[in-house]
Amino acid sequence: MRQSVPRKRGKPTATGKKLTRYKVAAVQAAPVFLDREATLAKAASLIREAAAHGAALAVFPETWIPGYPVWASATAFWNYAPAKKAYNRLYQNAVDVPGPATEYLGKVAREAGVCVAMGVNERTPSGTMYNSIVFIGADGQLLGKHRKLVPTYHERMVWGQGDGSTLKVFDTAIGRLGGLVCWEHWMPLARYALYQAGEQVHASLWPAAGDTFHLACRNMAFEGRVFVIVACSYLTRAMVPADFELMKEIESLPEILCRGGSAIIAPDARYLAGPVYNQETILYADIDLAQIIEEKQALDVVGHYARPEVFTLTVDRREITPVTFRSSMEEGEPTRFAAP
């Protein structure tokens, strides 16, 4: 099912003019599970489809490349050999940011004239992975990324914790774009940091979203006076590779592993599209950024409805790394040479 009808689209970067009224797309689709290259090819097709329907922004689900680790809740044991092999398969198909996968997505985005928010398993040379959103402009440039701050429950056996260096909002041709992943929407201070950064359009990434998760999304739309594009996966057991190391655990799970729940929500918490379940689809809705200002007449939680003399928030934007290398010269000390 594909919602909405095609119409002529504009490319926001053609003249440098910013768009304030445009169409957005929430992509609800299955990845080619645990196959990065095939999933990238499917992403390209879906981005082009969204562009053909007039969308200026396409939002994809959580860790869509190469898929959400649906097995983690059943295998959260540190020394379980099949889980180690599954982790390695996920890592081998994960994404370097920046890297060839983001360059490819940038090329597709540029050709289609569409901004993209893509959920990826991001890998690092050390062997750690992160649950990340990659943001790409309609000109194909990598705007940046956001790493999930707190992996939820069993996810901590798969991903590391992000830090404040990626809690950002990006100024784009379609407005100020940001995003959070899954249960980050229950983190009030993370939400507030994005509001203060001037977020207008919010990419909300989930593996699947039921009623409680939609409560978080609609709350964020209303609280922050932002448009929220909810993107969820659709995945069944039949889509898992037959040679997957944890098929026994997969077979113990429901037939539908991720049932979707994608939607598009206005700054007054109204649904503009969806939610839709149990199928692959792309949801579309026309948005007007002027509505954000209209809704802020009554509520602006970082403006006239704030009390900064009572409550303050400090966000540490430093990138946290386990090792910092400094040369002796940088430390202001004389260089010392070993005796011959």
Among the listed residues 23, 145, 148, 168, the single catalytic one is 148
Asked if residues 142 and 136 have their Cβ atoms less than 8 Å apart, the reply is yes
Token reading at 296: 């802020």
pLDDT score of 340 = 42
Show me where the domains of the chain are located: 21-296
Q: What is the largest CA-CA distance in the chain?
A: 78
- Low-confidence residues in the chain, pLDDT < 50: 1-2, 4-11, 13-15, 335-340
Whole-angstrom distance, CA of residue 213 vs CA of residue 250: 24
pLDDT in tens, 268-297: 999 999 999 999 999 999 999 999 999 999
The sign of the torsion formed by the CA atoms of 315, 159, 93, 44 equals: negative
Give pLDDT, residue 332.
55
pLDDT of residue 4: 44
* Catalytic entry in 49, 145, 182, 295: 182
Cα 172 to chain centroid distance, Å, stands at 16
Cα Rg of the chain (Å, integer): 21
In the annotation, is 223 catalytic? no
Q: Crossing angle of helices 211-224/188-196, nearest 10°?
A: 30
pLDDT at position 206 = 98
pLDDT score for 5: 39
Residue 182 annotated as catalytic: yes
Q: Which of 214, 172, 185 is nearest to 26 (CA)?
A: 214
What pLDDT, on the 0 to 100 scale, is given for residue 14?
39
> Among the residues of 252-304, which ranges form H helices?
290-296
What pLDDT does residue 73 have?
Answer: 77
| Active-site hit among 62, 122, 184, 249 | 62
Q: Is 199 a catalytic residue?
A: no
Exposed/middle/buried for residue 312 (C-beta within 10 Å: 0-12, 13-18, 19+): exposed
pTM for the model: 0.90
Residues 6+ apart with CB under 8 A from 66: 31, 32, 33, 34, 35, 36, 39, 90, 93, 94, 121
Reading the block at residue 175, the tokens are 């407005």
- Sign for the CA dihedral angle at 116, 117, 120, 126 comes to positive
The CATH T-level fold of domain 21-296 is Nitrilase/N-carbamoyl-D-aminoacid amidohydrolase (3.60.110)
Helix ranges (H only) for the chain are 36-52, 81-92, 100-112, 188-196, 211-224, 247-251, 290-296
